[in-house]
Amino acid sequence: MEGTFELGPDDGRLLVRTGRSGLGRRAGHDLTIEATRWTAAVEAREPRDASSVEVTVDVDALEVREGAGGVKPLTDQDRAEIKKNLRKVLDAQRYPRITFVSTAVGEDAVEGDLTIMGRVKPVRIGAVLDAGRLRGGFTVEQSRWGIKPYSAFFGALRLADEVEIEFDLRLPG
């Protein structure tokens, strides 16, 4: 499938999944966070290595969708507090966007530069294009970008350093 595609939330989901660590991990939740404002510019070409991808995510539009585990279910107040903490941890006022720009596109992976909080690091994203759908994901170690994973209760409950990013998109046409 060749062409130029502009994608966004109407074309699929871009999710962040977090885990917990620390002595108090039973009290916290494994979160599913959805990017509700994002854009992707995809240049799909043959041969595939002539393709490119650029993605921009608005940090302010990261919304908590689910909280698994934990002693009690997530409340709306919990969601609002988590969003506030997320904006603070990612310094959304100074760095309002997270971006990815591909440097190489292969049959089952895309390599490129991921920019979080002004820091650029190379990543490899597993991706499969099948019947007009693009699915994939990768792991981000927050500390690699200088992000100190959120912690509470004097560090007894903290977010795991590794965060899973996954996507499932429909290509138009």
- Domain, as residue range, for 162: 3-170
20-58, pLDDT tens digit by residue? 665 444 556 678 999 999 999 999 888 888 999 999 999
User: What's the pTM value of the predicted model, to 2 decimals?
Assistant: 0.88
Tell me how far apart the alpha carbons of residues 83 and 150 are, in angstroms, rounded to a whole number. 12
Angle at 32 between CA 9 and CA 102, to 5 degrees: 50
Q: How many domains does the chain have?
A: 1
| pLDDT for residue 2 | 83
| pLDDT for residue 33 | 92
Q: Residue 48 is part of a domain; what is its CATH number?
A: 2.40.128.110
Structure tokens at 168: 């499932």
**Residuewise pLDDT in 10s, the chain (173 residues):** 688 989 999 999 999 998 766 544 455 667 899 999 999 999 988 888 899 999 999 999 999 998 877 667 788 888 898 899 889 989 999 999 999 999 999 989 999 999 999 999 999 999 988 888 889 999 999 999 999 876 655 444 567 889 999 999 998 86
| pLDDT for residue 79 | 86
Torsion of Cα atoms, 5 then 6 then 12 then 16, to 10°: 120
